[in-house]
Structure 1
Amino acid sequence: MSKLNASRREFLRLSSLLSSAGALGVASPFALNLATMSSAAAQTSVGDYKAIVCLFLYGANDHANTVLATDSTSWTQYQTVRTTNEAGSIALPAIGANGGVIPIVSNTTQAGRSFALHPSMTELKTLFDAGRAAIISNVGPLVMPTTLEQYKAGSVKLPPKLFSHNDQQSLWQAYAPEGASYGWGGRMGDLLAANNSNPVFTAISASGNAVFLSGRNVIQYQVGSSGAVPIAGLSGSLFGSATAGSTLRNIISGDTSNYFQKEHAAVTSRAINAQSLLSPAMAAAGGNGVPNPSQYTNPNTGALANNALAIQLQTVARIIAGRSTLGAKRQVFFVSMGGFDTHDAQRTAQADLLARVSHAIAYFDTTMGNLVGSNMRNQVTLFTASDFGRTFTSNGDGTDHGWGSHHFIVGGAVKGKDIYGTFPVTGLKHSQDVGSGSLLPQFSVDQYGATLANWFGLSNTQINDVFPNIVNFSNRNLGFMG
C-alpha cells in the first residue's frame, strides 16, 4: 500500500506541473483565467511585447555558399577548392556573372575582405542593406573557448557527438545530445511566462515537436496553419445528433474519482479552452489584415510555387497579432525547414532552399512592419540555426558534415548591416580548420543565445541558468542586438 501511495503522490506532483500554479508564480501551461486575460489584454501594448522566432534549417545548411568572402585571395581559394571536374561542381559564379553571388557591404570592415550572399538571397540582401539583418560568422556548439591545438590534443572539454545530425540538432536547441529534456527557448519561457496571463501561449511551435521549446514548467503549444487542432465532434452535429457533441465533451472532460482519468479530463478541458481562445484570435488577425504570403520563384525552373516556410511564419504573425486577446507579453516561436543535408546535387538543391528562406524571411519582415496597423519590427527578432555547417571541400557535387556555420538575425532591434566576428580564412589548413574545411566555431551557441536572451529581458543570473556554458566565456553578449 505504501508503494501505491508513493506512486500516487509522485503522479500528483508531476501532474501539478500541468495543472496548477506553483510556488514560482508560473501558472499551468494549459491553465486559463479569462478574467485575468481580459485585464491583461487591456494593458498589453506594442512597447511591452517581445517575441523571438527560431528558424531551424534541418539537415545542416552549407554556410560557405550562403555567405562568401569575395576579395581576390579568398575568391581564388574558393574557386580552387569548390570547383571540381564533376558536372555538379558546387562553386558559384562570381559577382556580375549570370547568376553570380550578390555583393554586400558591412558597416564594420574587415581589412582586405569583401563579401557576398548566395544568388538566391536577394530579399535578404535588401534587409541587410536596410539595417534589419546581420550575420554572425562561424557559430556552433562549444563548451568553452577552444583553439585548434586544444581540439587536436583533446585538452579541453568538447561538445559530445560532433558531426551527428540528431545529436547536433539537440545540442543547438537544448545544449545536450539527442534525448535532452529542456531547450533554451523553453527555459526562457519558464522564466518569463509570468509576464503572460496565460502561459500556454508562451512557447509555440508552428513546425511540430521541438526540444528547443521544452521547459521545466512551460510546455510547447503546437499549432498548424489554422491554429490549434480542435478535438473533432465537440461542436455541430455528431452522428446526426445535435446533443452528441456535448455528451462527448462531458465524457472526455467530466470529473471522476480515478486519478488518471481526472488529470486527463483536466488537461483535455484546458486544451479545449485554449483552442477556443486561440482560434478566434487568429481568425480575427487574418481578417484584419495579416496577408497571405505570395508565391516564391524557384530559381532552377523559374516556376512560381507556394512556400511552406512562409506559411509557418504567417501563422506566427497571426498569433502575434492576437497577443492582446491572448494576454501575451513574451513569446518564443519555432519554425523550421528541412532538406539541407546536401551530400549530393548541392548547387541545385541549395539554390531552391535558400530562395524559400529568403522569400519567407522577407515576407515576415514586411508583415511585422504593418501588423494589423502596428509596426512590430522592433518587438520581434528572428534568428536562424542549423545542425552544423558543412565541409569546405566538395565530395564531387555536394559537401559533408562540418561544425561551425554562419547565421542570420533579422528584426528592427538588430544592429544590422554588419558581420559579427572575424570572418574565417577561405581555404584549408588554417587555425579554424579541423579537417576538410570544417570550421572550429569562433562563437558558441551559448553566446549567440545569451545575446538574444539579454534583449528578451533575462537577467545575467537567469542567463546563467538557461545557458550552462556561458560562464566559460568572457564575452557574454556579441553585441548584435540594440
Structure 2
Amino acid sequence: MTHKPNASRRRFLQAASLMSAVGTSGAPFALNLLTVGAAAAQTAGDGYKAIVCLFLAGGNDHANTVLATDPASWSSYTSVRTTNEAGSIALPAAGMPGGVLPIVPNTVQPGREFALHPGLGPLKDLFDNGRAAVIANVGPLVMPTTRVQYKAQSVALPPKLFSHNDQQSLWQSSRPEGAKFGWGGRMGDLLASMNGNATFTSVSAAGNAVFLAGQRINQYQVNASGAVPIAGVSGSLFGAPAGSNSLHAILTGSRSNVFEQDHAAIVKRSIDAQGVLSTSMAPAGAAGVPNPTQYTNPNTGALANNPLAVQLQTVARVIAGRGGLGAQRQVFFVSMGGFDTHDFEKANHADLMAKLAHAMSYFDTTLASLGGADLRGQVTLFTASDFGRTFTSNGDGTDHGWGAHHFVMGGAVKGKDIYGTFPVTGLNHAEDVGSGSLLPAISVDQYAATLAKWFGLSDGQIADVFPNIGNFSMRNLGFMA
C-alpha cells in the first residue's frame, strides 16, 4: 500500500521552508534585507517564472469574443443574436466592414471554423504567431457534470452560481464570497522559498484581490507610481528631517504591548519593502519600461490612454527588478471592469475588446526586450472572469451565464490552438443550462492546475491548492510547453 503524506505534515514542511526564506530574526513578517544583495547576484533570468492573472470583472460575453463561424454555427448565431430591436448584438460576418476576424487553429475540430471579435486584431496576431491560445468553455465545477445532472441537482455544484461577487471569488479561490485565500496566493505560499525576499511573491497592480491572498504570504500592492509610501517617514516633515526621523521612530519603535508591537512590525515591514521596491523596480518611460501607446476607441476613432496597459507596464517594471527583489517565482494580478454588459453591449464590448487586445500586445512586446532579455517564455498571462453570459440577447445586451472562453498568452504557451471541444452554437443543446448559458466542459481547477504545473508545483502541491482536481481525470490540459 502506498503511503500518501497527509496534508498537515506537508503544510508543516512548507511553512518551515518559507520561514527559512523569510528569516527568523526580528519582528513578525520583517524583511530579511541582508539577503537581498545575495539574492540579486544569484537570480538567474533562466530560472525566473511569473504568472499574471488578467481578470475581466463583470462577466465577459465569450460568445462575441471567440465565435464559431462555420455555416451551421453562424446561422444559429445570427438568428439568435440579431434581434428586431436597434440594440442587436450580432457582429458582422468576416469580410464585411467591422467583421469578425477568422483564426485557423492547429488542431482541426471537424466541421468547425472560428473567428475573434473584430476589436481583437492585435490578439489575433499573437494567436497566429503561436504565442496565444484559446481555452474553450471554462468555468467553476466541483466535478464533471452533465446537463441532466445539473437539472436534477444530482451532483455537487458550485455554490451561488450567476452571482457576481460569489463567482469572482470562486474563480479566484475555489470558494464563494468571504474566502480568505486565493489559489494564486496558495501557489505563492508553496514557492516563496525560492525567493530571496518573500514579500514580493504575490503582487497586485489592481488593488486588493483574494486571488493573491496566501495563508502565509501577504499580497503586495503597487500602482503606476510604484510602491505606496507612508507619508512623512522619509525626507523632510514640517520642513525638517528631524521630524521624519521622529515619526519613523514613533511608528517602528519597540513596544511592550503585544498589539502595538505587531503594529510597529507591520509598519516597519511596509517601510522597508517600499525602500527595496523603489530601488529595484524599473522606471517607466524611455529610461526603463516603455510607456504604452494610446489605443483607438473603435466607436469614436479617438486615441485614448489604456489603464489596463498601464497596469501591465507596472507588472513589467516589477519583473524587470526581479534581481534586486531576489525573485524567482512571482504571481501578479491585473484587472479591467465594465464587462457586466446588460445594456449597450455592442458598443461597450467593442471598446473593452480593443483595450484588452492593445494591452496584451503591449505586454508581449515589452517582455520581448525587457532589460535586454526576452522574457516571454518565462511569463504567462491568462484571462479570468466572473462567468460567461447568456447566448440569448435581452434586446440590447446579455445576462449572467456560467462557462466562457479564455485566453492564455506567453512564449511557453502552445499557441495557435483551441483547447477543449468548442461548444455547439445555439440553444437547447447538451451544454445549454438555460438561455444559452454554457455548462462548463473544463473546470477552473483544470485550467489553473495546468498553469501551476508549468509554474513548478508538484502533483501533491497541486492537489493541496485545488481541492476539486482529484475529481477530474485530465489534470493537465496540455496548453503549456
> Is the TM value for this pair above 0.5?
yes
Please list the CA deviations of residues 348-387 of structure 1 after superposition, one character each: whole Å capped at 9, or x if unmatched.
Answer: 0000001000000000000010001000000000000000
Amino acid of the structure 1 residue aligned with 2:269: R
Q: Residue 243 of structure 1 aligns to a residue in which SS? A: helix
Describe the shift of the 1:414–1:283 C-alpha distance in structure 2 as closer, same or farther (beyond 3 A).
closer
Aligned to 1:320: 319
Please list the CA deviations of residues 312-335 of structure 1 after superposition, one character each: whole Å capped at 9, or x if unmatched.
Answer: 000000000000000000000000
Shift of 1:236: 2.4
Asked if structure 1 preserves the Cα contact closer than 8 Å seen for 2:102 and 2:114, the reply is yes
How many Å separate the matches in 2 of 1:111 and 1:275? 54
Describe the shift of the 1:247–1:377 C-alpha distance in structure 2 as closer, same or farther (beyond 3 A).
same
What are the equivalent positions in structure 2 for 1:29-428 lying under 5 Å apart? Answer: 30-284=29-283, 288-428=287-427
How many Å separate the matches in 1 of 2:388 and 2:245? 53
Amino acid of the structure 2 residue aligned with 1:398: G
Aligned to 1:7: none
How many Å separate the matches in 1 of 2:83 and 2:293? 37
How many Å separate the matches in 1 of 2:417 and 2:138? 15
Shift of 1:237: 2.2
Paired positions, count: 462
How many Å separate the matches in 1 of 2:159 and 2:32? 43
Asked if structure 2 preserves the Cα contact closer than 8 Å seen for 1:74 and 1:426, the reply is yes
Asked if structure 2 preserves the Cα contact closer than 8 Å seen for 1:105 and 1:417, the reply is yes
Shift of 1:45: 1.4
Q: Which shifted more, 354-363 or 34-43?
A: 34-43
Amino acid of the structure 2 residue aligned with 1:356: K
How many Å separate the matches in 2 of 1:25 and 1:52? 20
Describe the shift of the 1:341–1:137 C-alpha distance in structure 2 as closer, same or farther (beyond 3 A).
same
Are residue 469 (structure 1) and residue 468 (structure 2) matched?
Answer: yes
What are the equivalent positions in structure 2 for 1:20-35 lying under 5 Å apart? Answer: 23-26=16-19, 27-28=21-22, 30-35=29-34
Shift of 1:41: 1.0
Asked if structure 2 preserves the Cα contact closer than 8 Å seen for 1:286 and 1:318, the reply is no
Amino acid of the structure 2 residue aligned with 1:134: A
Asked if structure 2 preserves the Cα contact closer than 8 Å seen for 1:31 and 1:198, the reply is no
Q: Residue 223 of structure 1 aligns to a residue in which SS? A: strand
Asked if structure 1 preserves the Cα contact closer than 8 Å seen for 2:18 and 2:189, the reply is no
Q: Residue 409 of structure 1 aligns to a residue in which SS? A: strand
Describe the shift of the 1:463–1:201 C-alpha distance in structure 2 as closer, same or farther (beyond 3 A).
same
How many Å separate the matches in 2 of 1:197 and 1:457? 17
Shift of 1:286: 5.5
Q: Residue 116 of structure 1 aligns to a residue in which SS? A: strand
Please list the CA deviations of residues 191-212 of structure 1 after superposition, one character each: whole Å capped at 9, or x if unmatched.
Answer: 0000001110000000000000
How many Å separate the matches in 1 of 2:77 and 2:323? 50
Asked if structure 2 preserves the Cα contact closer than 8 Å seen for 1:59 and 1:165, the reply is yes
Shift of 1:235: 2.1
Q: Residue 135 of structure 1 aligns to a residue in which SS? A: strand
How many Å separate the matches in 1 of 2:18 and 2:106? 44
Shift of 1:24: 3.8
How many Å separate the matches in 1 of 2:317 and 2:239? 34
Q: Residue 55 of structure 2 aligns to a residue in which SS? A: strand
Amino acid of the structure 2 residue aligned with 1:239: F
Q: Residue 207 of structure 2 aligns to a residue in which SS? A: coil
Q: Residue 273 of structure 2 aligns to a residue in which SS? A: helix
Asked if structure 1 preserves the Cα contact closer than 8 Å seen for 2:29 and 2:265, the reply is no
Q: Residue 341 of structure 2 aligns to a residue in which SS? A: coil
Please list the CA deviations of residues 153-178 of structure 1 after superposition, one character each: whole Å capped at 9, or x if unmatched.
Answer: 11100000000000000000000100
Shift of 1:289: 3.0
Q: Residue 244 of structure 1 aligns to a residue in which SS? A: helix
Q: Residue 383 of structure 2 aligns to a residue in which SS? A: strand
Asked if structure 2 preserves the Cα contact closer than 8 Å seen for 1:31 and 1:200, the reply is no
Asked if structure 2 preserves the Cα contact closer than 8 Å seen for 1:70 and 1:114, the reply is yes
How many Å separate the matches in 2 of 1:286 and 1:180? 38
Q: Residue 50 of structure 2 aligns to a residue in which SS? A: strand
Amino acid of the structure 2 residue aligned with 1:355: A
Shift of 1:22: 5.4
How many Å separate the matches in 2 of 1:400 and 1:98? 27
Shift of 1:46: 1.4
Please list the CA deviations of residues 442-462 of structure 1 after superposition, one character each: whole Å capped at 9, or x if unmatched.
Answer: 000000000000000000000
Asked if structure 1 preserves the Cα contact closer than 8 Å seen for 2:56 and 2:337, the reply is yes
Aligned to 2:450: 451
Asked if structure 1 preserves the Cα contact closer than 8 Å seen for 2:389 and 2:401, the reply is yes
Shift of 1:83: 0.2
Shift of 1:427: 0.4
Shift of 1:288: 4.2
Aligned to 1:12: none
How many Å separate the matches in 2 of 1:345 and 1:25? 49
Amino acid of the structure 2 residue aligned with 1:342: T
Gaps of 5+ in 1: 1-20
Asked if structure 1 preserves the Cα contact closer than 8 Å seen for 2:236 and 2:244, the reply is yes
Length-normalised TM-score, structure 2: 0.94
How many Å separate the matches in 2 of 1:301 and 1:312? 24
Q: Residue 47 of structure 1 aligns to a residue in which SS? A: helix
Q: Residue 120 of structure 1 aligns to a residue in which SS? A: helix
Amino acid of the structure 2 residue aligned with 1:33: N
Amino acid of the structure 1 residue aligned with 2:132: A
Query: What is the RMSD of the two structures over their aligned residues, measured on CA atoms?
Result: 1.2
Length-normalised TM-score, structure 1: 0.94
Aligned to 2:441: 442
Q: Residue 275 of structure 1 aligns to a residue in which SS? A: helix
How many Å separate the matches in 2 of 1:86 and 1:30? 59
Asked if structure 2 preserves the Cα contact closer than 8 Å seen for 1:61 and 1:390, the reply is yes
How many Å separate the matches in 2 of 1:234 and 1:24? 33
Please list the CA deviations of residues 267-296 of structure 1 after superposition, one character each: whole Å capped at 9, or x if unmatched.
Answer: 111110100010121245766431000000
Shift of 1:217: 0.2
Shift of 1:31: 3.0
